[in-house]
Chain A
Amino acid sequence: MHNQSRSKYNSHLIKLIVALIVAGGLGYFARQVFMPASMGTYGHYRGDDIVDQLNVPIRLQTNESCFQCHRPIRQIHKEGIHNSVSCEICHGPFGDHIQDGKKVGVLPVKKGKEITQLCLRCHNKVIQARPRKSIKMIGLPEHLEQKGVRVDHTCDQCHMVHDPLLWINQAKRMMGIKEAI
């Protein structure tokens, strides 16, 4: 047995308490050393982070940025019913295409069935929350059947994607149809 032990019965507890106090003190000291200097300047965050955030490269731009180069589209898009729709909604972020004034990548251009999917993201009538007065809501294939076209037609076969009513209105003028669309 350890009756001959030279340690006191509670020496381990005292050592532990001292070690915890020392660890706490070290933690307090470490906090003073490592605390970011601008912490709390404006609130519970690093004040310098505002500068960091300002320096984050901007990925999204306005349509005017796109139109600087894509001039023919500019004319069509601005006169069309989709003139308030951002180019980036369909094509993706400007920053993936242009950085520092240089072309860095090609943005995706939807083709075929993908175009129908893209249009239905906004125009699908199952989206109950959409404002029906301002956005034309349709269901497929009823819309195609109603218009008397094949049910495998994609939207862009009748609608010009940058001005969806351009061809429709042209056709109606040619046919002499006058009623509102």
Chain B
Amino acid sequence: MSGAMQHGDTILALTNYVFPNDVYVHWSLMIVLYPYITGIVAGAFIVSSLYHVFGIRELQPISRFSLVFALAFLCCATWPLLLHLGHPERALNMFLTPNPTSAMAGFGYIYSAYLILLVHEILFIYRPTMVGLWMNSTGIPRKLYAFLSFYNDNLSDEAMKLDHKIINFLAGLGIPMACILHGYVGFIFGGIKANPLWATPLMPVIFLLSACVSGISGIIFSYILIRKVTGKPIDVTCIRTSLKFLWGFFILDFVFEMLEVFSHFYMSTHHWHVLESLLWGPLYTTYWLLQVKIFSLIPFFLLGAVCLIKFKDRVVLFVAPIVSLMILIQVLLMRWNVVIGGQLMSNSTRGQVSFVPEWLGREGILAAVVVMAAPVVILFLLGKIFPFWMSEEPKDS
């Protein structure tokens, strides 16, 4: 069977001259989700660090939730890669035969180190809660909570001081690690010098900023959603502060995204003509119309208004989830435009392909929906073990 038959469903049309090895979009939907999920993890961790390290007291209500949220997404961060590559049984080979010069393998090491750090930070932050639950439960939950509190029920001042030191150390270490985690993902694209859309040292910076933006939006959206669904009050001061941080990060993110295109345009390097034909060609709708005009400019001004004008609480609570959801979509579109967009132009610089994802299959839309729904399910299950909110802790502890 010819290659075109195998990939036929995903290829719509070729224009001009496309090198044979550029005809197929090999990095498809799963590679769009990979930086998206990783970014949400890094961003959510930074929200928690704003309270734990930088002392932004207003964010205290979501500080613990954002860590568990980060863990839920981190559990699924490798799924898209495993689905894309196939052979998940080979995933751990990179630890058996580590190759320090492999840029691709770098994710395995950075991810693992970050996972270990995040799990430990959560366990230390939750230790008083776990001890309380340990004392108040029976049967299997009792054993689980005892295990999660390291079989130590000592909550004396001395023990808490020690825990606090460890938490500070882990949270402090976690910030550069979260930045490296997502900066690395940007680097993996930015380092591909053969692709003029990707090859820019700005790529890690843009990825990192969009990670912060998606993480904060994810936290705001899920916090409001969970509190509304469970009928609990929402801390509006916390939401207002989060929106301020969201706006700040989004200004930087959006400006850098635009500056990158502007720099290419102004320098008019020999690659500009292919980027121009890409951005105003197959990417026009997803880039200019959706990513820039609808899902960047509208949230940009909405956030500016909410942060600068003193609106009533219910206006803030109405706008916040809408803006967060729009920014979550903006970041997903940005990942799509970078990952898929970069592959829609041929290295001939004279041809383009178009791409429509398949529905079924290992890298289809259905698989993508499952991968994106999995962190939500994991978050729900983690919520059964680690109470998200302080008010739910047993008074006894």
Contacts and interface: CB of A to CB of B under 8 A. Distances in A.
B269 to A, nearest CB: 18
Interface string B143-165: 00000011111111011001000
Size category of the binding interface on chain B: 20 to 34
B151 A7 contact: yes
B21 interface: no
B315 interface: no
Name the prevailing secondary structure of the A interface residues.
loop
Contact of A126 (B16, B120, B151, B156): B16
Chain A interface size, as a band, is 20 to 34
A9 B158 contact: yes
Contact of B1 (A2, A11, A35, A96): A96
A34 B150 contact: no
Contacts of A31: 95-96
Interface string A88-122: 00001000100000000100100000000000010
Interface in A24-68: 27, 31, 34-36, 39, 44
Nearest to A91: B2
A39 B97 contact: yes
A10 interface: yes
B151 A124 contact: no
Contacts of B131: 2
A2 B155 contact: yes
Contact of A9 (B1, B16, B159): B159
Nearest to B17: A127
Contacts of A134: none
B166 interface: yes
A126 B17 contact: yes
Contact of B154 (A8, A16, A35, A121): A8
A27 to B, nearest CB: 7
B285 interface: no
A39 B159 CA distance: 47
A48 to B, nearest CB: 13
B350 A7 contact: no
A129 interface: yes
Interface in B17-50: 17
A20 to B, nearest CB: 9
Nearest to A30: B96
B162 A35 contact: no
5 contacts: A8-B154, A12-B127, A12-B159, A16-B150, A44-B99
Given A2-B131, A2-B156, A7-B151, 10 more contacts: A2-B153, A5-B152, A5-B156, A7-B153, A11-B150, A12-B149, A27-B95, A31-B95, A36-B96, A126-B350
Interface of A: 1-3, 5, 7-13, 15-16, 27, 31, 34-36, 39, 44, 92, 96, 105, 108, 121, 124, 126-129
**Which 10 interchain pairs have the tightest Cβ spacing?**
A12-B150, A12-B152, A9-B159, A5-B154, A9-B158, A7-B152, A7-B154, A2-B155, A127-B17, A11-B152
